[in-house]
Amino acid sequence: MKINNFEPILMNALTTSNFNFSGQRSVYHGKVRDVHHLDDDRLIMVASDRISAFDHILPKGIPFKGQVLNQVATMFLDATSDIVPNWLIDTPDPNVAIGYACVPIRVEMVIRGYLAGHSAREYKKGKRVLCGVNMPEGMNENDQFPEPIITPATKADEGHDEDISREEILSKEIVPREIYLELENITRKLFERGTQMAAERGLILVDTKYEFGLLDGKVILIDEIHTPDSSRYFYAEGYEERQAKGMAQRQLSKEFVRQWLIENGFQGLDGQKMPNMPDSFVQTISERYIELYEKITGKKFIKSDTTNINGRIEENVGKYLTQKNK
């Protein structure tokens, strides 16, 4: 169902902010999230409505995207805390999470259950080894791997994250061996839990990425988890039939945004110009994010008040900090 009077909502998407919260020491503006560091080693993470693809921020914000990401991530962090502790403390606003500041581990743990997205594009180029992991011959795009594969990436502050193998990580001592092996073990357990939860909702968790940090020497799960920005989902119904017929899979993820950009001549390469995003496409993206929220959580999405998003966040976080600092 289309959203009526969409233009005013577009104008109220959260694309920029300039918060200066009580006790704030510094702020980092990422592609999607703004991270505010407090003096007491807590973080305030504001999920904006910005959307990125191919490591570029797209020109328009996506209404309610930040709320979807924040609330889906919160649900999955709560649902996996028995596997690994995480950074989250509280969520005082639909777009805001507050948690512990950890020392980031500079490797993203990417795990893939299916030949899709980046792995499929590499496979089409003739590659059969990704991040030091063999991919079987004779696979079609979106086929399931015999078992999930872990394909790590180096975490870049700017620019593209780069594929890297376990052997390179260990030989370059990017992560100590015992910690890296722990990351692999946790990654497989998290993916198994996410797969189970997706299946209960009629979805297939295709691939995802996890980020970790260290807090008092212990591995902590940080950032988002199992959101449409960090994960790819297929609808389980019709999956086998579509594969048999060589049809594209119905999916809930950001991949359709990447495909739209590719079709319009943009993959983030030098000399390529970002295409203009029509409002109708922005609306489609927003509806897809809301659809994923409702599908994966089983709950009706309640749209937050977007009349003055910045003011709302400042008020809610201010009240939270005042109460907690008493």
DSSP result, 111-139? EEEES-THHHHHHHTT--EETTEE--TT-
DSSP one-letter string for 23-76: TEEEEEE-SSEEEEEETTSEEEEEE-S--EETTEE-SS--TTHHHHHHHHHHHH
Lowest mean pLDDT, pick from 1-10, 32-41, 163-172, 204-213: 1-10
To which residue do tokens 């505010």 refer?
36
Task: Please answer whether residues 22 and 325 qualify as being in contact, where contact means their C-beta atoms are separated by less than 8 angstroms.
Answer: yes
Question: Which residues in the chain are classed under CATH 3.30.470.20?
Answer: 107-253
Task: Please answer whether residues 133 and 151 qualify as being in contact, where contact means their C-beta atoms are separated by less than 8 angstroms.
Answer: yes
CATH superfamily of 107-253: ATP-grasp fold, B domain (3.30.470.20)
User: What per-residue confidence (pLDDT) applies to 158?
Assistant: 55
Give the pLDDT band (50/70/90) at residue 293.
very high
Give the pLDDT band (50/70/90) at residue 96.
very high
Residues near 279 by beta carbon (within 8 Å), at least 6 away in sequence = 6, 7, 10, 60
What are the tens digits of pLDDT across the range 295-312?
999 999 999 999 999 999
What are the tens digits of pLDDT across the range 119-170?
999 999 999 999 999 999 999 999 999 999 999 999 765 556 799 999 999 9
User: What per-residue confidence (pLDDT) applies to 156?
Assistant: 62
Question: Which residues in the chain are classed under CATH 3.30.200.20?
Answer: 6-103+282-324
Give the pLDDT band (50/70/90) at residue 11.
low
| CATH T-level assignment (fold) for domain 6-103+282-324 | Phosphorylase Kinase; domain 1 (3.30.200)
> To the nearest whole percent, how much of the chain has pLDDT over 90?
83
Q: What is the pTM of this model?
A: 0.88
Phi, psi for 135 (deg, rounded to 5):
-110, 130
Task: Please answer whether residues 76 and 175 qualify as being in contact, where contact means their C-beta atoms are separated by less than 8 angstroms.
Answer: no
Angle (nearest 5°) at CA 87 between 165 and 95: 105
User: What per-residue confidence (pLDDT) applies to 187?
Assistant: 98
Lowest mean pLDDT, pick from 3-12, 16-25, 151-160: 3-12
